[in-house]
Amino acid sequence: MKNIAAFFDIDGTLYRDSLMVEHFKKLIKYDIIDQKGWFEHARDTFMNWDKRQGNYDDYLQEICDLYVESLIGLDKTCIDFTSDQVIKLKSDRVYKYTRSRIKWHLENGHTVIFISGSPNFLVEKMASKYEVTDYAGSDYVFENGIFSGTVVPMWDSRSKNTAINNFVKKHNIDLSKSYAYGDTNGDINMLRRVGNPIAINPTKELVNHIANDSTLCSNTQIIVERKDIIYSLSASTTMLDI
């Protein structure tokens, strides 16, 4: 008998921001990396997004590029220490809906899997915190305990698709009865492959993809959590485009 799985993205789906960004800020706070790069390159992109005048995916991509560049040459023990601080201080800053769904899936004996574009060393700690079955994150390559600058990504839909294939074999998963939770275009294939796709606080780009995919449009549940209210919407709901 095959297992039912629940695949969860983390950043923006479970965690109410980005674990990678939180780690970046922690490295700056402890003077491990220079904050000059943030103010010279990422600040304007962040401010545009914060004022809702820019694209969220563009903001994250620029931050990711700067983050990877800033980590080159850092010792893994240093990265592990700051990662522990992020999880200790920030891991409860999650969406109530997603947290409740993880609990529900675990209580029902489902295979719960985190698939995230954040670094594996952060995803691993988050997976342990929420006691999930398995996980996959972006693989940051260390050579002799030093970050080399090489990253095997897990933030794009193609990489997540490959990860799902591996998990299906490893855990004997029936995708037609399984669930997936995501918020950006990087999660589109993950949502397409399961019988129960759920988009949580989705970006406009993801909503457009869902709306233009007849199967996803009819099957996808859209969840919007704002303040202390959770809204459940149909993907075919007419939205105001400003």
**Strands ordered across the beta sheet of 134-143:** 146-152, 134-143, 111-119, 5-8, 179-182, 196-200, 221-226, 229-234
Residues 6 or more apart in contact with residue 229 via CB below 8 angstroms: none
Please report where in the chains the tokens 């920030």 appear, as a residue. 90
Report whether pLDDT(205) > 70.
Answer: yes
Q: What is the pLDDT of residue 242?
A: 44
Mean pLDDT over residues 98-111, rounded? 98
- Contact status, residue 9 vs residue 112, Cβ threshold 8 Å: no
Q: What is the pLDDT of residue 178?
A: 98
The string of pLDDT tens digits covering residues 24-59 is 889 988 988 877 655 555 666 666 655 665 666 666
With a pLDDT cut of 70, the percent of the chain lying above it is 87
Domain ranges in the chain?
5-234
DSSP assignments along 137-196, one per residue:
EEEEEEETTEEEEEEE--SSHHHHHHHHHHHHHHHTB-GGG-EEEE-SGGGHHHHHTSSE
Q: Residue 7 and residue 22: Cα distance in Å, rounded?
A: 23
Q: Residue 120 and residue 122: Cα distance in Å, rounded?
A: 5
- CATH homologous superfamily of 5-234 equals HAD superfamily/HAD-like (3.40.50.1000)
Residue 24 is classified by DSSP as H
Q: What is the pLDDT of residue 46?
A: 62
Q: What is the pLDDT of residue 79?
A: 94
Cβ-count burial of 179 within 10 angstroms (0-12 exposed, 13-18 middle, 19+ buried)? buried
Please report where in the chains the tokens 């850092």 appear, as a residue. 74
The string of pLDDT tens digits covering residues 152-190 is 988 888 888 999 999 999 999 999 999 999 998 889 999
Average pLDDT, the chain: 89
Predicted confidence band at 74 (pLDDT cuts at 50, 70, 90)? very high
Q: What is the pLDDT of residue 238?
A: 46
Predicted confidence band at 116 (pLDDT cuts at 50, 70, 90)? very high
Q: Residue 235 and residue 242: Cα distance in Å, rounded?
A: 18
The string of pLDDT tens digits covering residues 22-31 is 998 899 889 8
